[in-house]
Structure 1
Amino acid sequence: MRQSRRNFIKTAGCLTIGFCLGGPSFTWPSPSQSLPGDLRENPHINAWLEILADGRVRVLTGKIELGQGIRTAVAQMAAEELNLDMSQVEVTMAETGVTPDEGYTAGSNSIEMSAVAIRYAAAAAKQRLLLLAAEKWGVPATGLVFTQGKVSTTDGGHTISLAQLLDGRQITDEVRMPVTLKPKEQHQLVGKAVPREDNIRIVYGQPVYVQDLTFPGMLHGRVVRPPGYGAQLLHFDEQAAKSKSPGLLKTVVSGSFLAVIADNEYHAIRAQQAAHAAAKWSAGPPLPNLQGTDLATYIKTLPVQPEKVAEKGDLSTLPNGTTIKATYFKPYIMHGSIGPSCAVARYDNNKLEIWTHSQGVYPLRETLADFLHLPAENIHIKGTPGSGCYGHNGADDVAADAALLAMALPGKHIHLQWSRDDEHAWEPYGSAMIMELEAAMQPSGNITHWKYTLWSDTHGTRPGGQAANLLAAHYIANPVSQRPSGFSGGAHRNAEPYYAIPNQRVDANFFNGPLRTSSLRSLGAYANLFAIESFMDELAASAGKDPYEFRLLNLDDDRAKAVLRQLQQRTSTPSSTTATATTNSTTPNQHPANSTTPDQHPANTKTATGIAFSRYKNAGTYCAIAARVSVDTKTGNVRVQKMWAVIDAGEVINLDGLKNQIEGGMVQSASWTLFEQVKFNEKHITSRDWTTYPIMHIDQAPELEVTVIDRPQEQPFGAGEAAQGPAAAAIVNAIYHACGKRIRHLPVGSINISPTSL
């Protein structure tokens, strides 16, 4: 890593404060445990590591880089165990037939499943290499040292590179527990803020993404979309389209799937416009007419499939008339990837190659095999980063689109780029959700009863081997008619409260909504935690308790309490330069919680701080967030001035990457909470650009501060989805403390403030 890159990263964005807790002994995992992470499915060392001819090591991971920094983290894990420099490690990601099949890059699982597997594979490889050298020289393995890609005797009498030692072979042994890991106190890379190498290329606009790919003789395609869901192609005047399309090489028509292929992207766009004008479509089934009604009210009219999520204790004794109730709502929201979905495909000699930013290259291969009636072994998919996103956007769909065009014109690379209109109108959204809560407390503030009921569509229709989950499958000749099958469990992610409540019940009601939905960052956790942590603030106010103390009173997990106490300290005491165990930080312009800043705000502005807490999936990263919000009492405009986060993700692998994930999660959640909702009329989606679907602008982004509690002796957790839910609740709780207005229906928008509430 060059110093210039390190300095660049250190000065970009906001700063991280970290500190360590935990004793000196390493307690995770115990030797009696089974293989950790994805080693269980791929136990051979050479599934994860290859020794290259020049002595460097190639790391293989089935995960893809989405901006979460997993490429850097897995390289750190391997380099640490093998005593290599980062420059001696390269990473190959998500390629069928090359990397292990690790399913989807999703659920904040990459560190826990892939990086940990690579750590153990690297440690096992080092043990095997030491034994090979010991056998070669006839010396005890304990008398050897392993560093910089070489094995040497302690007296320096023998030295051999890894490539020479293996002589063209690879280490094919299975990893077997126990595996001796490098002692934590000897770590040189893990736990450090190693910057991502692709950051400089991204900032300077150099080729990074699938959208940037070029090949000799590459052609360009575009799909002509119907006017709305389910509309059918009635007639297409191909000659009329060709007459107005210079550079148009081929039109592709299959049922109601209509696309064009041209010699360059500009001509492809022109051809798309001409084909659109030359096509006639049926209207398609209408979407719900919500004029004069509310989407939440409409959802309650839909048939549901009920499911009991959790139950303990006895809610039959829930005291009548003394409970507190509230209902919350989250609308449909979209990924809104900054770079619309894109793929490149080439078909030749019954072989299909695809370059895609799909989050699951192996599941996509199985899906395309079903969709295109090709043997899976004839499809090769290479994961390539895309400019977005976290969740199931249009990446799999555009890969299928590109495959159809490539098979229609064999022997050529076809670059297929969705437009902004395509992305906004046709991606799978995050489902709208309703959350109803009811609780009872003792006079002390201890919650005794808790009832939670949610309504949601599916949060998971990733391809998963099923052609029905691809957009194009519903429009080609002989279309797939059934509704895409989905994963329901994502809807009740984090719906169970993490608090110590003796009597509780959680129920889910699944509906088939009018819009296409699938996985969006954190799935149902965003809405569930928005509701739970907003309700906790309402309960605290009802009990006359401080929001921090009320949560601490109802928690029985010391690590959960630690993040809340640290957040309380960070928001209540103006800080200066803070030296810590992991980094140094200066945090200027910090104000105490719930303070107003009259020197910066006019008299009609009220400022306050709200908080929220969660443990992602109730088993992963701990995250406590505070938001300082100002509310203009004349206009109702809301601005998030600053957000704090304290996280405990167990052992920190890459401090910089961890901080970046939490920062990004807070800003994304703030945008969802304040501005975002998908709108539609009876004909089609009307949120089709950044005007009709506004997101937070860079000049609206808050100041950010992230504090990391590093626990080196604990299991490492992913943190990409830890911040979204508590960030939303912290913002709306701050609004209440500023102006007395409870926000239970998202997005916040402009607040209608009653004078009596101020």
Structure 2
Amino acid sequence: MIPNTLPQGLIDNPRLSDWVGFEPERRVRISTGKVEIGQGILTALVQIAAEELEVTPERLHAVSGETAAGPNEGVTAGSTSVAMSGAALRLACAEVRGLLLARAAERLGVAAEGLVVDDGRVLHDGRDTGQDYWTLAAEMDLARPATGSVPTRSPSRYRVVGTSLPRVDLPDKIAGRGFIHDLAPPDLLHARVLHRPWRDARLVSLDLAAVRRAARGPIDILREGDFVAVTAAREDIVGRAALAARAAAVWDGGTPVPADIGTPEWLAAQPARVRSVDTGDAPDEAGRTSGRVVEATYWRPFQTYGSIGPSCGLARLAEGRLTVWSHTQNPYALRDELTRCLGLAVDAVTVLHRQAAGCYGHNTADDAAFDAAYLAMRHPGRTVRVLFTREDEFLAAPVGPAMLVRMRAVLGHDGRPAAWTIDLTSPVHSSRPGTYGYHGFRSREALPDPPPQPAERNDRPDAVGGGSRNATPLYDLPFHRLIHRTVDPFPVRTSSLRGLGAFANVFAIESFVDELADAAGVDAVAYRLSLLSDRRARAVIEAVAAMCGWPGDAPRGEGRGLGIGFSRYKNRAAYMAVAAAVEVDETVRLTHVWGAADCGLVVNPDGAVNQLEGGIVQAASWTLKEELRFADGRVATASFDDYPILRFSEIPEISVRLVGDPGDPPLGVGEAAMGPTAAAIGNAVARALGTRIRSLPLSRDRIMAALLA
């Protein structure tokens, strides 16, 4: 059963009115601090609320990520939305249903146990009593704190949860109404911002006359310190001006980015803060050295978000109040940092989440929001719209950190690890607004007198930390040592990219497990099962092995291969095993990918499968294609021409199976597929080539180097 203890969301936001309210025309408002970024969370929450309130989903109006109208649930990240927001909303809705039945029983003079709710109406002995949520709303005190004492519906009675309800956000998006980019109030002022090419760069000169000539229309140019913005009533005018400003700007000073910053050698040579965590009983010196020692080093390059739609933000200052529209993943943190950086009171700023292209990490949404807010302060009474270009996205976005992962195992006489060490090096994995006291806005650093930033930012060396996420495998290891080296400060802004450190860590761990299986002369699936006592972990591995026909019939080193990868995301979210079939000559062609996932109770099966399939596709693109490059002190990648991503024609057949028990609590699925997919592809390529490539992406250049070695 799903526990009814109060989740953190209800502890932080205890009033029932924070979550539920009643509206005209027999509608119910449900509120959440979590936001829609393509993962289908609003649909899942509608299903949960409809189930517990016992109304049809069509009656529900979901309000998401609005600081003046809903609970503060922190950042939407880490595959936690259903598990956290869903749990809080579930209990709140159950309690509201309990209040309805209690008030109806009192008014009707009957026992509450004899009443039921049917699409919001109260029935007694199967007959409509004339009472419902809306007739009794004024008599129900929703300002009271939640207690978690009202029983929730049994999964065996679910009618909405567990079905593939169509996405509630798609109709508006299909009609072109669902995105922040489409907002166009009549007082709109368009703006573009000139971004510094590297950290602390100083603007030596800017040919303003050239910018005005290129604009071919009236513009205003604002320069404060090293911050430059162009505003105009027409978008085409500011677009031309911004291109001219980029070409006309001369920069100097600061910290240009080394061209070799992305290499393993550069990363390994940097000073770092070192933390170490031991788990299990450390073997003595003889135990650490007497068995066969296997070592390997794996590497992931810098990568970027590549959202299909570039970031956008709008803001308006009127009567001393600032309203900001943003596709931020944390509206409350954005509000708080805007107030700090703009010198406003918290109650003078409202942030309203509006949807955009999904990002699954800290992209430039908050930067665009700050730019719009800052410019709105200088144009009161106008709505300022800041839109990034594709080149802005590549140049100004935080980047997903490169990671160097060294693995070492001492094998016992049975071929299993007696001692295991993972030694990882990376910069920090979060610089979101509010993290470590960091405001997170690139433009605020370019303005005069920026507020102080934290002197030290530490990724926690645990299963849910940044660089160390999933660095501790789920396998039964007698002794495990995690060494975490955090390189900070760093020449480029790094932050959360989908899965944080889990992607590189699972790629390294699961590749290394295959290498250990080879060293022990044991089948890779059998070897994993010999190290696992967790029944749910074993079940997904066994399921995906059956799905793909493991081990296949391709001989090693002849151009075809089948590989497997496994993890439980953060060691507490969904279990996922992935198998990949590849054909390799000068490049890798994915022919089929299989996935088996245990997500516990699945609120929307189609939505869960979509998430897992999307994770497989994105992970395949990272594994085979994506790598940021640097030159002339800056990011050298400016478009998808020089940052290739997986094309539609390269997406393989994908088969996903959900194998969990609906009696178990829901587990997050958003990032579950990422690391296992990379490992499965890497292991399949190793079998196809007869040699292993340990650095990503598995590009043509790396394959040719491996074939010629």
What's the TM-score once normalised by structure 1's chain length?
Answer: 0.89
Closer, same or farther in 2 for the Cα pair 1:214/1:756, shift >3 Å?
closer
- Percent of aligned pairs sharing the same letter: 38
What SS does the corresponding residue of 1:51 show, helix, strand or coil? Answer: strand
- Counterpart CA distance in 2 for 1:420 and 1:487 is 31
Q: How far off its partner does 1:322 sit? A: 1.6
Relative contact order (C-alpha < 8 Å, sep 6+): which is higher? 1
Q: Which residues of 2 match residues 555-704 of structure 1 at below 5 A? A: 555-572=532-549, 593-595=551-553, 606-632=559-585, 636-704=586-654
Report whether the alignment pairs 1:295 with 2:263. Answer: yes
Q: Which residue in 1 is equivalent to 2:121?
A: 150
1:511 aligns with 2:463: no
3-state SS of 2:631 partner:
coil
Counterpart Cα distance in 2 of 1:432 and 1:257: 29
Within the alignment, does 1:166 sit opposite 2:166 as a pair?
no
Deviation at 1:487, TM superposition (A): 5.1
Q: Relative to structure 1, is the Cα distance of residues 484 and 101 closer, same or farther in structure 2, using a 3 angstrom cutoff?
A: farther
Say if 1:719 and 1:70 are closer, same or farther in 2 by CA, change over 3 A: same
Partner secondary structure for residue 340 of structure 2:
helix
AA matched with 1:425: L
8 Å CA contact 2:195, 2:443 repeated in 1: no
Deviation at 1:67, TM superposition (A): 0.4
Say whether 1:529 aligns with 2:520.
no
For residue 308 of structure 2, give the secondary structure of its aligned residue in structure 1.
coil
In the alignment, structure 1 residue 335 sits paired with structure 2 residue 335: no
Pairing partner for 1:47 from 18, 28, 42: 18
Secondary structure of the residue aligned to 1:369 is helix
| 8 Å Cα contact 2:52-2:153 kept in structure 1 | yes
- CA distance change for structure 1 residues 605 and 407 in 2, over 3 Å: closer, same or farther? farther
Match in the other structure for 1:731:
681
Cα drift, residue 640 of structure 1:
1.1
Stretches of structure 1 that go unaligned for 5 or more consecutive residues are 1-26, 573-591, 598-603
Match of 1:235 in 2: 205
Letter aligned with residue 493 of structure 2: R
Can you give the 5+ residue segments of structure 2 that lack an aligned partner in the other structure? 461-465
**8 Å Cα contact 2:68/2:350 also seen in 1:** yes
Give me the whole-angstrom Cα distance separating, in 2, the residues matched to 1:382 and 1:419. 22
State the one-letter code of the partner of 1:663: E
CA distance in 2, matches of 1:735, 1:205: 42
- Aligned-residue RMSD, C-alpha: 2.1
The answer (yes or no) to whether the contact 1:445–1:550 under 8 Å persists in 2 is no
Q: 1:273 to 1:753 in 2, by over 3 A?
A: closer
Q: How many residues align?
A: 697
- The answer to whether structure 1 residue 56 and structure 2 residue 56 are counterparts is no
Equivalent in 504, 524, 539 of residue 547 of structure 1: 524
Shift in Å, 1:296: 0.7
Write out aligned runs for 1:403-482 (5 A). 403-464=373-434, 466=437, 468-480=439-451, 482=453
Contact 2:569 2:671 in 1 (8 A): yes
Q: CA deviation at 1:171?
A: 2.1
Match of 2:463?
none
1:162-209 deviation line (CA, Å, top 9, x unaligned): 11112486522322133311121111111111121333544x461211
- Greater shift, 108-117 or 434-443, is seen at 434-443
> 1:485: Cα distance to partner?
5.8
Tell me the distance in 2 between the aligned counterparts of 1:66 and 1:157: 40
Q: 1:612 deviation in Å? A: 0.7
Q: Which secondary structure state, in structure 2, belongs to the residue aligned with residue 710 of structure 1?
A: coil
1:227 CA drift (Å): 3.6
**CA distance in structure 1 between the partners assigned to 2:458 and 2:27 by the alignment:** 41
Q: Distance between the aligned counterparts of 1:682 and 1:251, measured in 2?
A: 27
Q: CA deviation at 1:77?
A: 0.2
1:718 to 661, 664, 668: 668
Check the 8 A contact 1:50/1:58 in 2, yes or no: yes
Counterpart-to-counterpart distance in 2, 1:354 and 1:419: 20
Question: How far 1:211 moved relative to its partner?
Answer: 1.5
Deviation of 1:129 after TM superposition, in Å, equals: 0.6
Cα deviation for residue 142 of structure 1 reads 0.9
How far the C-alpha of 1:754 sits from its partner, in A, is 6.0
Residue among 215, 218, 221 paired with 2:185: 215
| Equivalence for 2:44 | 73
Q: Is 1:308 the counterpart of 2:276 in the alignment?
A: yes
Query: Which residue of structure 1 aligns with residue 83 of structure 2?
Result: 112
The partner residue of 1:94 within 44, 58, 65 is: 65
Note the C-alpha offset of 1:161. 2.3
Q: Could you say which residue in structure 2 is the equivalent of 1:28?
A: 2
Quote the residue 2:371 is aligned against.
401
CA distance in 2 between counterparts of 1:484 and 1:422 reads 27
Tell me the CA shift for residue 241 of structure 1. Answer: 2.9
TM-score, structure 2 length as denominator? 0.95
Cα pair 1:461 1:485 within 8 Å, conserved = no
Determine the C-alpha separation between the residues in 2 that align with 1:206 and 1:523: 32
Q: CA deviation at 1:294?
A: 7.2
Q: For residue 611 of structure 2, what is the amino acid of its counterpart? A: Q
Deviations 1:12-55 (A, max 9, x none): xxxxxxxxxxxxxxx331x6xx4124112112211111122222
Distance 1:294 1:396 in 2: 25
1:245 to partner: Cα distance: 2.2
- Cα distance in 1 for partners of 2:619, 2:77 equals 18
- Give yes or no for contact 1:232–1:283 (8 Å, CA) kept in 2: yes
| 8 Å Cα contact 1:330/1:527 also seen in 2 | yes
Cα pair 1:605 1:630 within 8 Å, conserved? no
Would the alpha carbon gap of residues 485 and 336 (structure 1) be closer, same or farther in structure 2, given more than 3 Å must change?
farther
Q: How many Å separate the matches in 1 of 2:42 and 2:192?
A: 31
Which residue identity lines up with residue 435 of structure 1 in the other structure?
Answer: V
Q: Kindly tell me: are residues 276 and 452 of structure 1, through their superposed partners in 2, closer, same or farther at Cα, counting changes over 3 Å?
A: closer
Alpha-carbon contact 1:468-1:484 (below 8 Å) kept? no
Q: Which amino acid aligns with 2:69?
A: V
Change (3 A) 1:162 1:251: same
Q: Is the 8 A contact 1:193 1:657 kept in 2?
A: yes
User: Match of 1:323, SS?
Assistant: strand
Q: Is the 8 A contact 1:62 1:93 kept in 2?
A: yes
CA distance in structure 1 between the aligned counterparts of 2:582 and 2:642, rounded to whole angstroms: 25
Q: Which amino acid aligns with 2:704?
A: N
Decide whether the 8 Å contact of 1:595 with 1:609 is kept in 2: no
Determine helix, strand or coil for the equivalent of 1:338: coil
Which amino acid letter does the alignment assign opposite residue 605 of structure 2? L
Deviation for aligned residue 1:295: 1.2
Change (3 A) 1:605 1:702: farther
Post-superposition CA distance 1:252-273 (Å, at most 9, x none): 2111000101112111101213
Would you say 1:254 and 2:224 are equivalent positions?
A: yes
Q: Provide the C-alpha distance between the structure 2 equivalents of 1:506 and 1:706, rounded to a whole number of angstroms.
A: 32
Q: Is this contact kept in 2: 1:467–1:480, CA < 8 A?
A: no
Measure how far apart 1:229 and its partner are: 3.1
**Could you tell me which amino acid in structure 1 is paired with residue 267 of structure 2?**
I
Question: Given the superposition, is the C-alpha separation of residues 199 and 641 from structure 1 closer, same or farther in structure 2, using an over 3 Å criterion?
Answer: farther
Aligned to 1:281: 251
Contact 2:30 2:62 in 1 (8 A): yes
8 Å CA contact 2:599, 2:668 repeated in 1: yes
